[in-house]
Amino acid sequence: MGEWSVADIPDQSGRTVVITGANSGLGAETAKALAAAGANVVLACRNTEKAEVVAREIGSSATIARLDLADLDSVRAFADDLTGADVLINNAGVMAIPLRRTTQGFDMQMGTNHLGHFALTALVLPKITDRVVTLSSSMHQFGRIDLGDLNWEKRRYRRWRAYGDSKMANLMFGKELAERLAASSSATSSLIAHPGYAATELQGKSGTVEDVFMNVANKVFAQSAAAGALPTLYAATSPDATNGTFYGPTQMFGAHGAPGISGYNKRADDKVFRDGLWTASEKLTDITFGV
């Protein structure tokens, strides 16, 4: 696909894109680029005050809607209010934070990154006409999901392992959704993306000495959030992006560079495990898919 950039985004006039966590970082850069290409963007955010700053920069094509992925009641309310969209981008997330619980008692990382987006996608999928893009991370490589203890109630909590688990869950969900959509002959597709190593507000929230090193590394090694958003933008807009494919940067072992097809841990292709994660996610959220 060559050196794909924002200049290659097709005209998005008349299209509506919902972006979770669009108040900062990757989500904000994604929203700005899509709006610049003509799209109407819905900034679906918990922090609506920060979203207002982004919306003012974008202009009249931006709409703010409150969405707290750590509260399934908020997810349901958002889904009820959404009239429709062409694209849903499951972007929001938390990384390596201390053990905390969502409103429904889920581990905050699995609950926000995976279960909240799982529930949101299930509820709004009938209203999405084109594609769903779910963000994973290269950290999915370290995920070893325990289906018997998704929410770290039986094990000693390990914040980086929990993050890796949630990102593996994102990848497995995106791939499983793609297969189920294809099997149901749906016109909607599911794609997955990751930003490589991009400087965002996601880093530096672990509450440990690691935050110091991450903040330094952000300044020295990381690419910009705008560059990190390119794989998401490609997955969300390119006519060449295909159902079930994982996209990410193509240089420096997937850390930097123009977007392309990304390698991934083949555990994500374990159909039996993916089915188990899907079933567990439906049970925990008490929300079922129509595919």
Contact partners, residue 51, CB within 8 Å, separation at least 6: 22, 23, 43, 45, 64
Collapsed DSSP state (helix, strand, coil) of residue 20: strand
Number of residues that this document lists for the chain? 291
Catalytic residue among 163, 197, 247, 264: 163
The 8-class DSSP code of residue 208 comes to S
Question: Residue 261: which of 277, 279, 241 has the closest Cα?
Answer: 241
Question: Residue 72: which of 290, 282, 291 has the closest Cα?
Answer: 282
**What Å distances lie between residue 54 and 4, 12, 27, 79, 115, CA to CA?**
25, 19, 10, 22, 26
**What one-letter code names the amino acid at 21?**
G
Cα 112 from Cα 81, distance rounded (Å): 20
Question: Residue 92: which of 32, 36, 45 has the closest Cα?
Answer: 45
- Decide if 163 is catalytic: yes
Cβ-contact 175, 183 below 8 angstroms: no
**What one-letter code names the amino acid at 283?**
K
Catalytic residues: 163
